[in-house]
Structure 1
Amino acid sequence: MPIYQTAHYAIQPEGIDAVKAAITEFVDYVAKNEPGTRLYTSWQQADAPGKFVHLFIFEDEAAHQAHGESAAVRQFEAVYRPYLAAGPVVFTDYTQVATNQHG
């Protein structure tokens, strides 16, 4: 059963460029190395550039666990953690109700 999840966090202004670069590198890694991650996308809030949200769809719990245990996750965490501005990253799980995506 797929796992639908978001991650929300805020970054101090001096860390925004470093975190954006780390996101790009991390998402590229996920695309190339995590076939069980159906979707991983990151958005930066337009009117508050220090706020980010990541959207994930994992094929199943095994894919979710493999993602969470990867060295790439720890590398990404090492970049953003020093710049967290409003507490830790907040992860939220969801149940899909409907979508216009197919496949």
Structure 2
Amino acid sequence: MSGDSVMQWGDGNIGIIKNQGAVSPQAALEQLIEAALALRGQVPASDRQTLDTSVEVLRAGSTQDRGRLRGALASIAGIAALVGEVGAPVVSAVNSLVEAAGLR
């Protein structure tokens, strides 16, 4: 017999998270850029400009120094954290990229 057997109690259950294996840095980067652009419509104009600038740094990739890349990630994660639950996927995407790219 194959498949998952799941028992859940309480409120707020969202299901099973699968495929949590290692993510390539390129895939994590693309996921983060997509998530940041989706968040763009949920934040004030000043934050949109910061997101745009940070996404430009991410897209430049290896041509940027490590400190500038970390600064862009911090800016994106900070904005995402400030907007609450709607920003949670962006914070998760930042963490995935940091882990995949060895930026800790």
TM-score range, shorter chain: 0.3 to 0.5
The structure in which a higher percent of residues are helix is 2
Higher relative contact order (CA 8 A, sep 6+): 1
Q: Which structure has the greater CA radius of gyration?
A: 2
TM-score by length of structure 2 reads: 0.42
TM-score (normalizing by structure 1): 0.43
